[in-house]
Amino acid sequence: MKCIIVDDEAAARAITKQLCKKIEELTIAEEFDNAIDAIKYLNTNTVDLIFLDIHMPTFSGFDFIQTLKNPPLIILTTSDRNFALDAFEYDCVVDYLVKPITPERFAKAVARIKERGSVTQKVEEPVSNNSDETTTTIGNDLYVNIDRRLVKINVPDICVIEAKGDYIKIKAEDKNYVVHSTLKKIEEKLPSHLFLKVHRSYIINTTKIVDIEDNSVLIKQDVIPVSRANRKELMQRLNLL
């Protein structure tokens, strides 16, 4: 089985590699300290199994799973016991390992893959596409291109859009989406009366602001920085007493 490891802790990756070496069926193809690099790898490579941490900066393990249309089998590795029920909402999740992981427990998790009867689920290779179009707006709906399918997002439900290298993270009321695009491209498709770019890395829905303090705004649980250049326009937008 061809595997990759996705974990932001170097020590945890090293332990997982050592555990894999004790099982003949496993071959580690790559390891990554962040989800974005793993996504890029999976866009052009197929694997049978992913050892995936849940708590990582920028994108959690669950965010990572949601970006994959046809995810391979996944064994979650985490120091947090609280997400086991959430984990098994995903059909691709085979097991949930709590750190520190013992060799016996690790072997049992791998054995469960055989019980599934197949290790042939793959991440599909992308179809070449010369178009840079990754988002389309129709009325109140924004369609984003994720793994060759158009996913509809209700525009008023979008809270924050954050730039992350070659990707943007769209945080909506009920779900997060990771899209290969730029902040500039999506800004052009959003209604200007609702959305404002407040920082070089952030666009916010001004109707979702809970609190403003100094050079930041609070939207749900996220504290979003506001640059000096954009603060004046933000204050003009708000209905101040």
Pair (6, 101) in one structural domain? yes
pLDDT at site 131: 39
Residues contacting residue 221 through CB under 8 Å, at least 6 positions apart: none
Q: Is the dihedral of CA 177, 180, 182, 185 positive or negative?
A: negative
Tell whether 65 and 8 lie within a shared domain: yes
Q: Classify residue 168: in a domain, yes or no.
A: yes
> Are 140 and 204 found together in one domain?
yes
Q: Residue 139 maps to which CATH number? A: 2.40.50.1020
Distance in Å from the first CA to the final CA of the chain: 63
Question: What is the spatial distance between Cα 166 and Cα 67, in angstroms, rounded to a whole number?
Answer: 14
What per-residue confidence (pLDDT) applies to 57? 84
Residues spanned by the domain of 17: 2-115
Asked if the structure places residue 127 within a domain, the reply is no
Same domain flag for 96 and 195: no
Does residue 35 form part of some domain? yes
- Is residue 120 in some structural domain? no
> Is residue 122 assigned to a domain?
no
The pTM score is 0.54
Short-list 216, 218, 210, CA closest to 228: 216
Q: What is the pLDDT of residue 240?
A: 64
User: Distance (Å, rounded) from C-alpha 73 to C-alpha 91?
Assistant: 8
Tell me: do 106 and 211 sit in the same domain.
no
Q: Cα 134–35–70 angle (5° rounding)? A: 60
**pLDDT one digit per residue (tens) for the chain, 241 residues:** 999 999 999 999 999 999 999 999 999 999 999 999 999 999 899 999 999 999 998 888 999 998 888 889 999 999 988 888 778 778 888 889 999 999 999 998 998 887 664 333 333 333 333 334 566 666 678 888 876 678 889 999 999 999 887 788 999 998 888 888 889 999 989 999 999 999 999 999 999 999 998 889 999 989 999 998 899 899 888 866 4
Residue 140 has what pLDDT? 78
Whether residues 108 and 158 fall in one domain: no
**Alpha-carbon span 106 to 116, nearest angstrom:** 16
Same domain, 155 and 51: no
Q: Which of 87, 115, 143 is the last residue of a domain?
A: 115
Q: Is residue 32 part of a domain?
A: yes
On whether both 215 and 144 belong to a single domain, the answer is yes
Verify that 173 and 107 share a domain, yes or no. Answer: no
User: Is residue 126 assigned to a domain?
Assistant: no
User: Is 149 contained in some domain?
Assistant: yes
Note the pLDDT of residue 115: 67
pLDDT, position 133: 54
State the pLDDT at residue 139. 63
- The pLDDT score that the predictor gives to residue 196 is 96
* Same-domain status, 142 and 56: no
The pLDDT value recorded for residue 61 is: 92
**Number of domains observed in the structure of the chain:** 2
